[in-house]
Structure 1
């Protein structure tokens, strides 16, 4: 395939950026080290007794509905760590339309531009925003400091960095050409939207389920878990601050059946990224009504799975 029609990029070409990347793991910082320990202690103190207001974010705008819910600290049920609201079907459909409106422009953005956003988010997680995400994971999901370090810091940093690395490697690998002709290939996003449904306990997996499809040129509806709203919203805000356009990922907390019915009844639903066993089977019938072909082909599994519809 030749002539991608992609926009010119201010960033290095994939081969150059790959040479700069290499492979690097996000380390777990020692819990007793003075600087990270002090920053984390302050972040935990800032959350004590505090309730954060977390809206739905649709089309780049904060939206509140009447279906208000609370995330409770699992070890102190008297502490409401987050106040949030459920998106209803109309708002979910509005989020779908906002995502679809941004799809073509985001898909045409060169992969190295998209990768830079996630690399910057990884740098923010490894530095100035690390303590915040750790504290919100600990308070909101009941994790110890080392559990939070492994999950919300090291693993999520690795997801963003290695996903960027692998995306650039895919783009830089081209078919063999001969003197009389040039063969080239470009990767493009799915022609619709992807739904990301994140689990109750892992900050990193939630960020990856929404982030990986976006990195590859897709627009995403992210349904975070009710029990991980606080940390999920922190990751979402970091992605926006790293340069992710506001319509690429829609942040839509919702009741599970309402969300499922809304996405599977939409003809533009083309992919599902989730952690679980039953979801693919239950959404197959809805996927059959969509514009995308073929219908779902995936095996439900306890680990993160992706079904392209």
Structure 2
């Protein structure tokens, strides 16, 4: 009997997961987004096996070659194969974007839970700090923090995460304020459950759906923000094959050597579009109004 009781929730979770995937695939645009995202992840994972050449090895004799059978995306001003650099750039961009969202969502979730559950002066203090961060344009503040920390991809990730956590704090706080008045939470309080247990078992689990939707929608913006920081020289530094820095270098050669900007720019466009399409599909699939 105990085994049956344990198996039933697991079966329901598997069924819910399959149902979510089916609802995403039922929308052609979100299905395309999912396909492109899976493709980008596979390229990032197997970049060393896929890339035809070393992305940072200079070959002056091959400088500024146009696209050809030897170099499908051409070469840059140092003779490096742009296809190989774009492939490795997928790894850098995805890992950095995941890092931003992991740090921002974790920080925002902790602060939002504390503010929503404890309330009082702590809620007031945390929300005023949140308002201070939200008062500045996100990209401008990220640029300022990155410049203060020092230009590098790691510092750009940390700075962007420090700018983005307030949105997650606001989201989780709103959910916590609503959920803590639910009957099952009040019953847990009466039963003597600790605040930590209530936060983990009753509040946080019910915040996962809006958090998943927000993260999926923010992934494209994270990639775009990192590319922007690298473009102005505050993110990845040469010779790191990051898309934004590649576009920055290629802009000086754009009129005569269009491929240096075009291919990394298309990689940014395709990846951001893929995550936006997938995020919209997840939001629609998890919406209570979505058909089942």
Q: Say which structure is richer in strand.
A: 1
Q: In which range does the TM-score fall when normalised by the shorter chain?
A: under 0.3
TM-score, normalised via structure 2 length? 0.26
Choose between structure 1 and 2: higher helix proportion.
Answer: 2
What TM-score results when the alignment is normalised by the length of structure 1?
Answer: 0.25
Q: Which has the larger radius of gyration?
A: 2
**Relative CO higher for 1 or 2, CA cutoff 8 Å, sep ≥ 6?**
2
